[in-house]
Amino acid sequence: MGTPRTPKGRMKAIAARLAVEYPDALCELDHRTPFELLVATVLSAQTTDARVNMVTPTLFARYPDAAALAAAVPAELEDIVRSTGFYQAKARNLIALAQGLLDRFGGEVPTALDDLVTLPGVGRKTGNVVRSVAFGLPGLPVDTHVGRLSRKWALATGDDPVKVEAELCALLPPAQWGDYSLRTILHGRRVCDAKRPRCGECSLEDLCPASLLPRRPARSASRSVSDQVAAEHRHVK
């Protein structure tokens, strides 16, 4: 298959291919409730999901809801989240976030992105994770993999995640936003490494404008035609 010429055509083909390769893409942050996912996503900044999953069992046992977390002693919370990095800022944000949930949302996690992003430590990426994963609502989280791969696929331009989100959302039905993000993250982790993309093993290779593999069929076809012409010229002479 050739590379579709329009971003919309390319998005359709790539999203369909990703759905075949990662049919059951799940968020890799362990959680049981929207509150737990919100807290885990805030903690996942600048670290791995696996690292967050190591601390959340203790964290959620000690602070099972917004009321408990809002009343946390900062030094105790810092100890629990220390291994995720930036632990002082994260502990501070988590307590303020829990306080915000209590004060303005009855202790519940809101579903509207405009509300989510008013909470300390919560940006559009985290808000969209909570919307799409915890609530099954439209949301397209743009993390480093989603931005990087979407630019490789010529579906988005620039480095601004807000702009990338808007560009991608315009190319996909809202019901597919969350799955596109989860599947693209998996593809970035497993196949399209930032430093060494494994184009030879990539199921999207024929659709990807950034593939490192030579475009053999087109080149060899045109070469063979010119070779034939050259041969005919030699024969005529």
Task: Tell me: does residue 192 bind ligand SF4 (CB under 6 A).
Answer: yes
C-alpha 188, offset from chain centre? 9
- Give the nearer residue to ligand SF4 in terms of CB position, either 118 or 203: 203
Q: How far is the CB of 197 from ligand SF4 (least distance, A)?
A: 4
Structure letter (DSSP) for residue 192? B
Give the number of residues in contact with ligand SF4, rule: CB under 6 A. Answer: 13
125 among known catalytic residues: yes
Quick check: helix, strand or coil at residue 197?
Answer: strand
Structure tokens at 79: 């100890």
- Chain mean position to CA 219: 34
Q: How far is the CB of 200 from ligand SF4 (least distance, A)?
A: 8
Report whether 120 contacts 93 (CB < 8 A): yes
Among the listed residues 8, 104, 198, 223, the single contact to ligand SF4 using CB under 6 A: 198
| Contact call for residue 139 and ligand SF4 (CB under 6 A) | no
Nearest CB to ligand SF4, comparing residues 21 and 78: 21
**Residues noted as catalytic:** 125, 143
Residues contributing to the site for ligand SF4 (CB under 6 A): 152, 191-192, 197-199, 202, 204-205, 208, 210-212
